[in-house]
Structure 1
Amino acid sequence: MIKAVVFDVGETLIDETRIWSRWADRLGIPRFALLGVIGGMAATGRPLTDAFELLLPGVDLDKEQVSWAMDEPESLRNNFDADDLYPDVRRALAGLRERGLKVIIAGNQPPQAKSALEKMKLPVDAIYTSAEWDLEKPDPKFFLKVAEVAGVGAGEICYVGDRVDNDVLPASGAGMIPVLIRRGPWGYLHAELPQSAYSIVVDSLDALADLIAPV
């Protein structure tokens, strides 16, 4: 019996299109080129940062972020706000809580992501990031921490994400029930991988409540 549902952030709750489009504009790369190469990284299993190296060899992303913050201190830059939420998010989270489930957000995110999510006043019980835990998926310790903060057994937790490598396999390995959502480059591509058979696959978060907590 599922008692808690834990959500990844990027491309699970947050549509990252605007973030990558702003990165392209900042670096002087056509948006379509950057978004297309990011898709290529997803298809070939390469790290996301390789997309920038491929398009701009030698680019220093850390240095660029510092410079960007100085140039545009009031802009979103590589951050997100409520306008980036997928349209099913608030509705789905609220529906899960109405059925008595604990709802938690915990994903690989930088420090500022926690406050950004908290400002959205989402219907959740808690929000955590990899930065505050100093742990990143797919590290098994991340999922041990998820179980700890959820306060229930691993087998009573459903972990929802868009990637087989970062979400489905480590969540399954921790004894949780993984859900793969088909959206974003990784979500669509990873749903075709044989390893997706370890998970429930959904096209929308709206499907979750009836699947894991039927009335």
Structure 2
Amino acid sequence: MITTVALDVGETLISDDRVWAGWADWLGVRRHTVSALVGAVVAQGRDNADALRQLRPGLDVAAAYEAREAAGRGEELTETDLYEDVRPALAALRAAGLRVVVAGNQTIRAAGLLRALDLPVDLIATSGEWGVAKPEAAFFDRLVQEADATPDQVVYVGDHPANDLFPAVAAGLRTAHLRRGPWGHYWADDPAVVAAADWRIGSLEELLPIVGH
């Protein structure tokens, strides 16, 4: 029986439009250029940050992030970044008696920004806070521990096959692959994704009929 629904952040709860627009502005290139390069690395199954390195070979992304923060041009997150189905879907899951956890590969600052949105969830945690990131098995071990559940009682919801779906399956969790964002759409019908996912969904509002008691 599912007791906990855990969700990724980028392109699951929030649109990454602002993220990539911010990088484009910081690097002084057109936003469309960054979007196109993100699409290219998605299609190749490469890390998203490789899109930035195509523009600035050898770019230290972590150092550039710190420079943006120091210049007052760092991470931002507002209500407008949330997908429309997020609040109603999360509220419905909690009302059904399920524990709802947000856990993704984000910074410590992003965790604070997410908490400021006052989402209807039981826990928000990021890789920056935990000191371990997806797809590492330790991330999912920590998630299960925080959920106070067994792996098979937790369903992990995300768009990214390599970071969300496959490692969650390997850790023994149930999985829902979300067709959302570049990764979610491009890889949705890949045979490996179809075979690995317990469920394949196009909206968070599809979760309650699947996992509700």
Judge same fold: TM > 0.5, yes or no: yes
Per-residue deviation, residues 54-89 of structure 1 (Å, max 9, x unmatched): 122243434433333343x2x5x3332222111110
Q: After alignment, is 132-141 or 191-200 more displaced?
A: 191-200
Query: Are 2:208 and 1:212 aligned?
Result: no
Task: Tell me the distance in 2 between the aligned counterparts of 1:53 and 1:80.
Answer: 24
TM-score (normalised: structure 2)? 0.94
Match of 1:158 in 2: 155
Deviation at 1:4, TM superposition (A): 0.5
Q: Which residue of 2 aligns with 1:148?
A: 145
Please report the RMSD computed on the Cα atoms of aligned residues, expressed in angstroms.
1.4
Distance in 2 of aligned mates of 1:136 and 1:160: 16
* Alignment correspondent of 2:35: 35
Cα distance change, pair 125–205 in 1 and its aligned pair in 2 (3 A): same
TM-score between the two structures when normalised by the length of structure 1? 0.93
Runs of 4+ in structure 1 off by over 6 angstroms are none
In the alignment, the residues of structure 2 paired with residue 7 and residue 69 of structure 1 have an alpha-carbon distance, to the nearest angstrom, of 26
Structure 1, unpaired ranges of 5+: none
- Paired residue total: 211
Specify which of 93, 108, 111 is matched with residue 111 of structure 1.
108
Counting aligned pairs with the same residue, the percent is 39
Identify which of 171, 193, 196 aligns with 2:193: 196
Residue type matched to 2:177 in 1?
A: L
Deviations 1:109-155 (A, max 9, x none): 11101111110110000111111111111111111111100001111
> What one-letter code is carried by the residue in structure 1 that aligns with 2:142?
K
| Alpha-carbon separation, structure 1, partners of 2:139 and 2:92 | 26
Contact 2:75 2:110 in 1 (8 A): no
What is the aligned partner in structure 2 of residue 23 from structure 1? 23
